[in-house]
Structures are given as structure tokens and as C-alpha cells.
Amino acid sequence: SPLNKIPGPWYAKFTSAVLVWNAFKGHRTSYIHEMHKKYGPAVRIGPAEVAFATASAVKEIYCSGGSGYDKEEFYDLFRIYGRRTMFTTLNKEDHAKRKRIIADRYANTNIVRQPSIDGIAERAAKFVKLCAGSVGGSLDVFVHLHSYAFDCVTHHLFHPYGTNSLQSKEDAEVMRELTFDDSLQNRLVEYYSPVLHKLFGKILYLFAKPRETPLADHFVLDTSAKKDTAPFTLLDRLHGRTKDGLDQLDISAECLDHMAAGIDTTGDGLCFLMWELSQPSSMKFQKKLQEELLKNPGANFDRLPYLDAVVMEGLRCFPPIPMSLPRYVPQGGRTIDGYSLPQKTIVSCQPLSVHKTDKEVFPDPDTFRPDRWLDPNGDAERKRLFFAFANGGRGCVGKHLALAEMKLLLQAVYSRFTTLPDSRMSSEEMEMSDQLISSRPLGQRCLLNYPAIMSLVNVRRDVSDPFYRYKMERIQTKIEGKGNGIKTVVVNLSSVAQSLARPGSYLIKYFGFELGAQTNIDPADDRWIINGAHEAAKLQELLDGFISRFVLCKKCKNPETDVQIKDGHITLDCKACGQRTDVDLRHKLSGFMLKNVPKKTKKDKAERKAARKAKQNGKGEEKNGNGSGGDDNSDQPTPTNGNADIDIASDDDALTRKIKTEAQGLETKEVDDKEEEWAVDTSAEAVKARLQSLPGEFKQKLDINGDDDDEEGGGNSVYDTLGSWVQEEAKAKGGVSKVDDVEIYLKAKELGIETKHKTLSVLVQTIFDENVITQIPARVGMMKNIGKSERHEKALLGGTERLLADLGEEHYNKIVKILMQYYDNDLVSEETVTKWGTKASKKYVDLATSKKIRKAAAPFLQWLEEAESEEDSDEEEEDDE
Ligand code: HEM
């Protein structure tokens, strides 16, 4: 036989017995892989069967002529209701006919379309809920990831009739029936000896169960008869193509096949990957993934390079279909990797071996190392050897769906949790156990712990803005002890307290009072304890109450407040708006706080800023007859006394009003506020005209800046691209305010300029228009995310000059309010803005315009200067005391 030239164990020339024996034991894949290790990338595994593990063999067997060689009868085992589906068709022609009907439902464009992708995201959110509920204990992700995959695939096949097995026991039963199926041996007998199977099927039943899935059959037969599923579903397409000769049974069979194909593959793939990520040796990768996710909250799952690398490496190391995909050498025979093979030889490649044999492409192949996918060198070779979804015309049609499911789930989980293996798990349980085509963990369970929930949450959880700047760690707890001695350790209380700028003792006491439980208040070892068992989710809820009572400013709801305790009163001193508001003394914690006043430390810069604002505010309020304000109802808008001046400026805070009043006293005739003009010209033509004039403007100005911007890299064209993109989006969406922050940020990221100072300069000119003053607050979070340095501040101010120059001289007076907002929101520091104010420059606009804008800014700059010197003298007095 020409096969004699192919390396392999001696017995393979005569018998397949060893191969079959290993298949029965669920070790076929690892057996063949061992053979590859021993004999190389081409190995004879039976008298007429050869396995390969090279890219060239993959290309020949699976891609030649489009869809490669014909499938072998092994696939008969997957026939459903006596029908052949796309997967089980053996020859090219039948396959192509079916694929033409189906393929477009699995195209990426269909998967990422809203109703389809939303369904997946919804299910990922449900999975996360289960993780959150299991904090302090463990979650069997083997089961729940299969439920997730089941619910996702049925959503894609049948929406709105998809399953909800993550929450419904009844649906979960259907998943279990398929996932815990144990029919491997029975089906192997059917494959290797159909006659024996026919004759002794009943006796065999006693030793090896056949595949019986009545619940799944019932569900699919019922559901696939529905004619009103969503347009993106597979079922909708199949019903629309009955003219191609599909009857109801064909439709049901195709649906059941895809359902089965979509559960174990994605479920097991995710399960092996999460297990690996949870190992101590992989913690660094998990951390890196978390960092990427936390840095890019809400990012499109397809634009996260590290997430992509993690998924690729997961599928490389643990391909859910790891075993050989058998094909027949076509008529006339073929030559593969230099070996000539007669027709009808069974040839195959198995993903596991294709991924782990070539050490040049995948050095250290058995090691999980996602970073290898980030190296541009060898990228093409790695992709050529990536075989998890097979290749060619008969490769996985569900690939985009599977990747979307995997990425969305990992994104949802690892932006919230750290996962660790549960101590009850042994590594043997996670060994690969072959099923008929896929492979699952031997123990059929995978317990993971979620003790360290790393993700940050918004301090105000009612704010969903991903760029909200005030974040804290989610509360983590650990239950210890038993019976009467059971207690809850709040693992990260110090960190949370620090984020809220409150002593840890306040938080733990608050929990104690709310739960009626004993606590410790000054643990030397940072072990903050509450007696009894309390779930982290419950404490998180209680924490919301603490934040609202003892942290948030009652007026502006900003959490940057200081606690002032004096004469039996507790006030919150807001650094953001300057308001002082009283804390409710009736809460027990107030009593505790009065008795435990922390020692006073010297004011930091932020405090000084707040104090300055508070002082100015106080004066302003007095003048307006508003009193001190700040009782519990003061989160309502502060009522005005009807003064016409104030009414006009009703969108101002007290400080701005004060500056404006003072500004009127200065020589600022030409910068008179004309309130009505602050909301001028929103007409479509005006906006359009302005927008259209901008790209050239960027170019011209950015060219001037060539000198100090060289190191920014990327060239000016990328900034133009960003500017033009914002304009186009604004045009398409009917206004620049409709262009979402996250989208803008992602676009900048895509262009590689999301942290560059020039980006700020371009954005100011595109995301703002005549309504800049009202537009700033909504964009603060995103602008801050881009970066904070003197260069960023200067670019922001420069961009603003250009914006005003572009708007026209009548808009220059807006600079006072603009600067006030930048300053209030820490977008510019007093040093930078003062420096900016003292020297006109022709860097961004011509010198005359630059001077005029600075002149218009004079009231703000003067206020800053005066307030600074007042503040200094106050500090001195305080220190003297
Ligand atoms: C990580 C998840 C997945 C992996 C690794 C995977 C892998 C594969 C592989 C290796 C094949 C080729 C099998 C062979 O030639 O014998 C295949 C085929 C197929 N897969 Fe997937 N799959 C995954 C998810 C899915 C999903 C979610 C669906 C559908 C909902 C799906 C539907 C199919 C179908 C219908 C075929 C047959 C394609 C054909 O013959 O043209 N797969 N898959």
C-alpha cells in the first residue's frame, strides 16, 4: 500500500482496533495527538486512515474546490428524523444547495444587527446576574454556560420563541437532556458496526444508552412550525424557502441540528476558557483583560483586541470540536504533504493537533498565552493554522454567532468579576472527554468562585453613564464561620471607603445600624466584620443609602463632599457647587459621627477650590436673599426671589451669576452677556454651514501646530478623519448632541488617538456649536477620559478659541461661562488657565482674535486671581488659630 510510507504505529497497517478502543473510552483526540507528537504531522492511524496536522493539509482536504473532499459516513450518525441537514450532507452538490438557503442568516451583518445582538447581550446580562448571586459561594459554569449557549442559539433560530433556560427550570431540562447526553458508545457501535447495532440494539441498550432527546425534539418540532418568527431568525428563512423543496420535517431537522451544534460548542468552549483564565498561572491574563474592559466601558465587543486575543487563544488551546473531521480522498487519489493517497482513503485533520504541532507558529504550544495573538509577526501563519471552526465551504456556519456569544459573555463577566477555581474542583474533572464530535469536561461540572468582584461601579448607581467619573469597587464579602458564630467579612471595605472619602468606621457602622448587627470599627488587620451572614448585593444596596445620606451633596448630588462636624451639627461641604447641606441627625450613624470626629488635616488643593467657591456662593446667595440653603429638601432647584437678573440667568449657578454681576461692573461693554444669543442659530442651515467649514480648518490649524505635535503620531489626517466623522454622524443623526459619547470615544480609539491632546482640540470644534455652554456638562466625562495634562488643557483652550473664532465675535462673551465650566469640572487647572489668560497667541487663531477672546475672559480671570489672594489670607488666619 502507498500508505506504508506514512509514519505511524506498526499495528495501524493492519487494524484500527486501538483507535476504536480509544474512541470508546473518549480518548480518540488525545490518542491521535500523541501519535502526532511521536510520528510527526502526518500519521497513519488505521489501515486506510491518515491524520494530518499542517496548514497545507487543511487547505487540501477542507478547502480544495471550495469545500474540500466529501464527508465520510461518520456523519450519518447525525441524521435527524431520517433527514440530511446541511451538516450531514455528504457530497458537495447537496451541501451547496442547502448552504445557499441558510448562509446569510449567519453572516456577521445579520448577527450584529440590533434585535439579534440585543438578544445575546440580554442573555449575557442574565448570566452575570447568576454570578452576582453566587458571590461568596460558587457557580457551576458548565451548566450555566450551556444554558447561555442554548438560549442564545434558540434566540437566533426562533425569536421570539427562544428559550430562557438561565431562568426557567423547564427550559433548563431541555438543555440538560442535550448537554448531559451519554450516548457516545452506543453511537460508536452504530458507526463501526451498523449490522451489529441493528441486530443487538435492544441488548446494547442495557450497556450503552442511545441518544434520546424527547424534550428537545418536542420543543423543536413545535417551535419550528411557527411562521411568525423575527426576520433575522433561521426559521424565518427556512419557511421562506419551501419552494426549494424543504418540507416541515427538513425544517425541523435543520433547526434541531443547529440548536445542538450551538450548545455544546460554545458552552464547552467558554467553560474551558473560563476555567483556564481562573487558574493562578493565568491570573495575569485575566487582569489584563479586566483592565482593557474597564478602560473601555460599553465598548463594542469586536473592538477589544485583548478580548479577541483571549478568545482566539482559548479556542486554540481548547477547541470545542477538537477531534478529526473525516473526509474521503476523491476519485483518482491525491497527494497531501508529499504522500500519495489512493481514493477512498479516510483523511482528516483534528483542530487540537493542528493548533499544537507546529512549534514555529505556536511556540510553547501547550501553554495558554493570549498575548501571542497580539504580535503582528506571524499573524498570517497563526490564522492559517487556526482550525477551531474548521475551514473552507464546510467550515462552521455559526462562527460569527459563536464569537459574538463568547465575547459578549466574557466582556460582561470580566468587567465585573474576578473568577477563581473553587477548591472542590480537581484538574482531572476538567480533562477533555470526547463525545461524538465535541469534547466536554470529564466531570461535567466547573465550579468557579467569584470572591473578588473587581469591577468599579458608579458611586451613584442611578447614573448609567459609563464615563461618570466617580467610581468605587463593588462591595465584596466573604462569609465565615457557622451557626451562631457566622460572620461577614467585607473584604474591600477600606477601598470603598477611600473612594467615598469617608472613614471605614462610618461605613461598617452604617451597615451595622441598618442590619441591626454588631460590627468592629477599627480592625488592625483590615478585616471589617459584620456579625451574621449578609450578601454582598444586600450591602451594596445599603451602601446606596449611606451614599445618599452621608456623601452626596443634597443640592447637586455630587459625591465630592467633605464632612464638617461642629457644634452638634454635621454638614456636607460640596466641593463641586460650594453648597453646604445638613446631614439628618436622626440617623444613628450621625450620633456615632458626632462622637468620633476624625482629626483635622491641612486642606488640599481641591478643598481650597471648594472653599473658595463656597465663599463666593455664600456671598452671592446672601445678596440674593437666599440664606444658607442646604436642608434636606435642597436637592430641589434653589428657588429664586424673582429678581429679573437671576431669572434671565436661571441656568447659571450662583457663582456664575456672581461673576456675571461683577463682570458688568468691569469694563466689559463689548462682552455684555446676551442671554438669548446663547441659544442662537440652531437652524439646520447654520449648523450645516458651520460644520462644512471645519475640516479645512483642522488641517490649516493643525499644520501650524506641526512643531509640538510631532510626537503625537498618526499624522494630521487621522484628526481630520475624526472631525469629519463627527460631522457626518451629526448630519446623519440630526444634530451633534445626538452623537453618542461612547461612539466618539470608540472612533478616536479606532484611529489610535483616544488619548492625544490634539483630539481634544478637534472635538471641541465638532461636538460643540452655538450651544456650547449647555453642551459642555454632557461631554465632560468623555473629554476627561481622553486625558489630563497641561498639553491636554492647552489643546482644549486652543480648540475653544478656534470654536469661538469660528462662531463669530458676537459669541466671544461665552468664554466666561465656558472657562467656568472647564474649571469647575477640572478640565483646566487654575495655573493653566491663568497662564493662558496672560498671553495672547497666534497658535490657534490670529493674534487679534486671540486678544479679543482673552479680553472677553477677563472677568473670569480676575475672579480667579482675587479669589486666590482672598483664599491665601484666609488660610493664614486659619493656621494662626
Ligand atoms: C465556539 C463555538 C463553535 C465551534 C468551535 C464550532 C466548530 C465547528 C466545526 C469545527 C465545524 C465543522 C465540523 C465538521 O466539518 O465536521 C462546524 C460546523 C458547523 N457548525 Fe459550528 N461551531 C461552533 C458554534 C456553532 C454555532 C453557535 C452554530 C449554530 C448555531 C454552529 C453551527 C454549525 C453548523 C450548522 C455546521 C455545519 C456546517 C456545514 O456543514 O456547512 N456552530 N462547527
Q: How far apart are CA 690 and CA 602, in angstroms?
A: 49
783 Cβ inside 6 Å of ligand 1? no
Q: What's the gap in Å between 743 CA and the centre of ligand 1?
A: 32
Q: Which amino acid is at 435?
A: Q
Among candidate residues 515, 531, 431, the one with its CA nearest the CA of residue 480: 531
Q: How far apart are CA 672 and CA 766, in angstroms?
A: 26
| pLDDT score, position 680 | 28
Q: What is the pLDDT of residues 90-124, one digit of tens each?
A: 888 899 999 999 999 999 999 998 889 999 999 99
| pLDDT score, position 756 | 87
ipTM of the complex: 0.98
49 in Cβ contact with 17 (< 8 Å): no
Q: What is the pLDDT of residues 358-383, one digit of tens each?
A: 999 999 999 999 999 999 999 999 99
Least confident range from 134-143, 480-489, 533-542: namely 134-143
**Which residue lies with its CA nearest to atom 37 of ligand 1?**
87
Q: What is the pLDDT of residues 720-750, one digit of tens each?
A: 889 989 998 888 888 888 887 777 877 887 7
644 in Cβ contact with 634 (< 8 Å): no
Residue with cell 450518525: 77
Least confident range from 142-146, 210-214, 380-384: namely 210-214
Residue with cell 426671589: 641
**Atom of ligand 1 at shortest range from CA of 157:** 30
Q: How far apart are CA 272 and CA 274, in angstroms?
A: 6
320 Cβ inside 6 Å of ligand 1? yes
* Local confidence band at 870 (pLDDT 50, 70, 90 cut-offs): low
Other CB atoms within 10 Å distance of the CB of residue 503: 18
Q: With a cut of 80, say whether residue 197 has pLDDT above it.
A: no
Q: With a cut of 50, say whether residue 630 has pLDDT above it.
A: no
Q: With a cut of 60, say whether residue 259 has pLDDT above it.
A: yes
Between 206 and 695, the higher pLDDT residue: 206
Chain-centroid distance, C-alpha 79: 39
Between 547 and 829, the higher pLDDT residue: 547
Domains of the chain: residue spans and CATH: 89-358+367-449 (1.10.630.10), 552-639 (2.20.25.350), 670-880 (1.25.40.180)
* Local confidence band at 206 (pLDDT 50, 70, 90 cut-offs): low
| pLDDT score, position 787 | 75
Q: Which amino acid is at 153?
A: V
The DSSP symbol for 63 reads I
| pLDDT score, position 452 | 39
* Local confidence band at 153 (pLDDT 50, 70, 90 cut-offs): very high
Mean pLDDT of 457-473: 77
Contact residues for 556 (Cβ-Cβ < 8 A; gap 6+):
574, 576, 577, 579
In percent, the amount of the chain with pLDDT more than 90 equals 51
| pLDDT score, position 702 | 37
Mean pLDDT of 1-13: 95
Mean pLDDT of 59-73: 93
As given in the structure block, the three cell numbers for residue 220 are 423543536
* Local confidence band at 751 (pLDDT 50, 70, 90 cut-offs): confident
Sign of CA dihedral 838, 843, 847, 848: negative
* Local confidence band at 144 (pLDDT 50, 70, 90 cut-offs): very high
Q: What is the pLDDT of residues 777-810, one digit of tens each?
A: 778 877 877 777 889 999 999 999 999 999 999 9
Mean pLDDT of 499-523: 93
* Local confidence band at 297 (pLDDT 50, 70, 90 cut-offs): low
Residue 396 marked as a ligand binder: yes
| pLDDT score, position 640 | 27
286 Cβ inside 6 Å of ligand 1? no
Q: What's the gap in Å between 191 CA and the centre of ligand 1?
A: 21
As given in the structure block, the three cell numbers for residue 124 are 449575557
As given in the structure block, the three cell numbers for residue 287 are 487582569
As given in the structure block, the three cell numbers for residue 174 are 431541555
pTM of the model: 0.58
859 in Cβ contact with 668 (< 8 Å): yes
402 Cβ inside 6 Å of ligand 1? yes
Residue with cell 497666534: 842
265 Cβ inside 6 Å of ligand 1? yes
Pairing of strands 447-449, 439-441: unpaired
779 exposed, middle or buried (CB, 10 Å; 0-12, 13-18, 19+)?
buried
Q: Which helix (H) or strand (E) holds 28?
A: helix 28-39
Q: With a cut of 80, say whether residue 309 has pLDDT above it.
A: yes
**Atom of ligand 1 at shortest range from CA of 270:** 1
Mean pLDDT of 744-761: 84
Q: Probe ligand 1: pick from 75, 80, 84, 396, max atoms within 8 Å of CB?
A: 396
Between 180 and 672, the higher pLDDT residue: 180
| pLDDT score, position 487 | 93
Q: What's the gap in Å between 124 CA and the centre of ligand 1?
A: 21
Q: How far apart are CA 814 and CA 810, in angstroms?
A: 9
As given in the structure block, the three cell numbers for residue 867 are 479669589
Mean pLDDT of 48-62: 97
| pLDDT score, position 809 | 92
Residue with cell 470615544: 745
Q: What is the pLDDT of residues 418-427, one digit of tens each?
A: 888 888 889 8
* Local confidence band at 20 (pLDDT 50, 70, 90 cut-offs): confident
